[in-house]
Amino acid sequence: MNLRRVRAVARKEFLHILRDLRSLGMAIAIPMLMLILFGYALTVDVDNVPTVVWDQSGTQTSREFLSRFGGSPYFSLVGSVRDYGAIERAIDTREALVALVIPTDFAERIETGRRVSVQMIVDGSDSNTATIAIGYAEAIASIYSQQVAIDTLRRLGGPQIRAPLEMRPRVWFNADMESRNYIIPGLIAVIMMVIAALLTSLTVAREWERGTMEQLISTPVTGPELILGKLIPYFAIGMLDVLLAVLMGHFLFQVPLRGNVALLFGMASVFLAGTLAMGMLISIVTKSQLLASQVAMTTTFLPAFLLSGFMIPVINMPLVIRAVTYVVPARYFVTLLHAIYLKGVGLEVLAFEAILLTVFGAVMVLVANVKFKKKLT
């Protein structure tokens, strides 16, 4: 391999990128825009659930119970209603996702130590939010019920009692339970895979469509030299994107980076090389910019977004789909990023994922070299 010819091809590709503002914008601006949009839009946190109340009791006791919901970060009391029709309208118009109905004899039953039922009506069209909201409500009601029982026993002169079991949860790696600390690292992997494949998927196809491939074929440049020379500029731009994404994650989203920065960029370079080679392979096979971009988007975005464990845990997927995820390289890079960002572990734990990413990159580069032929066919 002649490094002088590789450098000449890389210089030619750099000049093309600098002269084509659309390509440069796609390479730098779009990843940053995607990170901002998805970073702020995607969240699995359930808080400030809009809640309306029908307090038929209207007593100090019922208001005290409702204050537990109002004082919780998970519920936001947005108004009071006086019938089921108003509850239905509030839920239909999305003014509220939850409604609490306090019975007329609530205070009387509480004061006499009898059981009382509080109705909770939930909009189930968003099943995930509904399930989590019900869990929060049950926890609030349970704590209130326990406190009432203890106060009643104390008022009657009974012995002071304590709860027989006290659970003190300790959250590792993401103590604040912020979903963005989990989403942003995975989002970096998804954006890198999509953008990298899209960028290089147009390179060889563009040469065929513009008729410049014949000129390249007539030169002494070999296939591996041409592929390497075309990959170098996009690899440099991709690593710049990684740097910008890491800086945005730290300064804009305040995502902690507990692991080794060198390991992060090392694994990113391996993943980026494989993804760029994958895009190059698509460009070599299709020889059409339009078809190449469509194939690149289909084979990168959907698998990376849905099958990498970024949004849906792999363990929760059906067995057949779970088997498919093993051929999605983004799955291993997402795992690496989560572990480096949140857990701060190294290759002693992540060796398996690192090896598979290296194999993916090597295979993509090898297949791209095999498929590229210096002939007019």
pLDDT in tens, 294-340: 888 888 888 888 899 888 888 888 999 999 999 999 999 999 999 99
- Looking at the structure, do residues 340 and 248 belong to the same domain, yes or no? yes
Q: How far apart are CA 1 and CA 17, in angstroms?
A: 24
Q: Tell whether 262 and 294 lie within a shared domain.
A: yes
Please tell me the predicted confidence (pLDDT) of residue 376.
52
pLDDT at 93: 92
Where among 87, 120, 155 does a domain terminate?
155
User: Are the C-beta atoms of residues 122 and 97 closer than 8 Å to each other?
Assistant: yes
CB-side exposure of 186: number of CA atoms within 13 Å?
23
**pTM reported for the whole predicted model:** 0.80
Res. 258 pLDDT band, cuts 50 70 90 = very high
Mean pLDDT score, 226-231: 87
Calculate the alpha carbon distances from 270 to 22, 26, 243, 339, 360 in Å: 26, 21, 15, 17, 9
Report the largest interatomic distance among the alpha carbons of the chain, rounded to a whole angstrom.
100
- Please indicate, yes or no, whether residues 37 and 113 belong to a single structural domain of this protein: no
Mean pLDDT calculated for residue range 207-236: 80
Q: Give me the domain span that covers residue 290.
A: 3-43+178-371
Greater model confidence, 46 or 74: 74
Q: What is the pLDDT of residues 339-370, one digit of tens each?
A: 999 999 999 999 999 999 999 999 998 998 88
239 and 330 assigned to the same domain? yes
Closest among 361, 351, 374 to 330, alpha carbons compared: 361
Sign of the alpha-carbon dihedral angle for 69, 74, 79, 80? negative
Identify the pLDDT of residue 6. 87
pLDDT at 163: 62
- Our count of domains for the chain comes to 2
